[in-house]
Structure 1
Amino acid sequence: MTPELVIELMRDALWLIVTMALAIIGPGLLVGLVVSTFQAATQINEQTLSFLPRLIVTLLVLIVWGPWLLTLLLDHTNELIKNIPNMIG
């Protein structure tokens, strides 16, 4: 196994992690920003008002994009397993 191969595998794995994390956390971050702006404008300081919409959006994202994210993870894993003979040979 060459150092270039290890770097390529790590790059692909890290890119997959970033893609999956951004797909899950990104919409919650945007909703949190909107709710925080609303709270600042109306001077409402209720903690559950910012938590509940982010939780709901995160759950909806997991329901909607979950199959796509799982497909990405399984494709990456299948490629790794399929290429094991080429990597060690």
Structure 2
Amino acid sequence: LCKVQVNLELGHNAQLREKETSEDFTHDWTVFVRGQQTDEIQHMVEKVVFHLHESYPKPKRGMTEQSNPNMHMTTTFRFTNTVGAKV
């Protein structure tokens, strides 16, 4: 049995907009997943999916969007399956 511990930082940045959008959005926000400090994660994390409301576009890497301050999102991680691989 092989045990691996991966420390990930899942976070967001949000800034209050000076002026609301026509959709009454009040904030600009960015969500991200990264390794702690300078840790590389691409050899352990194959895929990350942010499950957003259907009204948002489906970005390939990251996204910065406008929204209201109260927003819910789930995140799915798919880790690589490289048993015996050198890292």
Q: Into which bin does the TM-score normalised by the smaller protein fall?
A: under 0.3
Larger Rg: 1
Which structure is richer in relative contact order (CA contacts within 8 A, separation 6 or more)? Answer: 1
TM-score, length of structure 2 as denominator length: 0.28
